[in-house]
């Protein structure tokens, strides 16, 4: 159960970094303006701006993480003595990665 929740949260974070998330927020704003124009005031605009800024931050962090992973993968491929199981660390849960790092570096 906990594993499924963690995977769902990770998938949600990856989706929030996808450009389609911006389209969804924009569509939500347009629909809000069409169906509830009386409640679409400065507070509504501020809410949409906060959502968009959150998506921008999430996208930037996701891009940086992917770039770091690509660089590390290249270094591991170039290093002959590197352990292959490290290449698959990004498939593990963050807590499991922390545990394995503590075991390797006491």
pLDDT at 105: 65
Mean per-residue pLDDT for 93-100? Answer: 75
What is the rounded distance in angstroms from the CA atom of residue 73 to the CA atom of residue 102?
A: 21
* pTM score over 0.85: no
E strand intervals along the chain: none
Residue 26: CB atoms within 10 Å: 13
Structure token pair of residue 75:
């270094």
pLDDT at 91: 75
């Amino acid at each position: 159960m906990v594993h499924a929740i963690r995977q769902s949260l990770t998938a949600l974070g990856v989706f929030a970094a996808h450009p389609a998330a911006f389209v969804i927020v924009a569509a939500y704003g347009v629909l809000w303006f069409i169906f509830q124009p009386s409640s679409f005031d400065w507070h509504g605009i501020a809410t949409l701006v906060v959502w968009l800024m959150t998506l921008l931050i999430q996208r930037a962090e996701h891009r940086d993480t992917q770039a770091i992973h690509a660089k590390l993968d290249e270094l591991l491929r170039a290093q002959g003595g590197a352990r292959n199981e490290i290449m698959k660390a990004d498939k593990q849960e963050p807590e499991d990665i922390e545990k394995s790092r503590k075991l390797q570096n006491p």
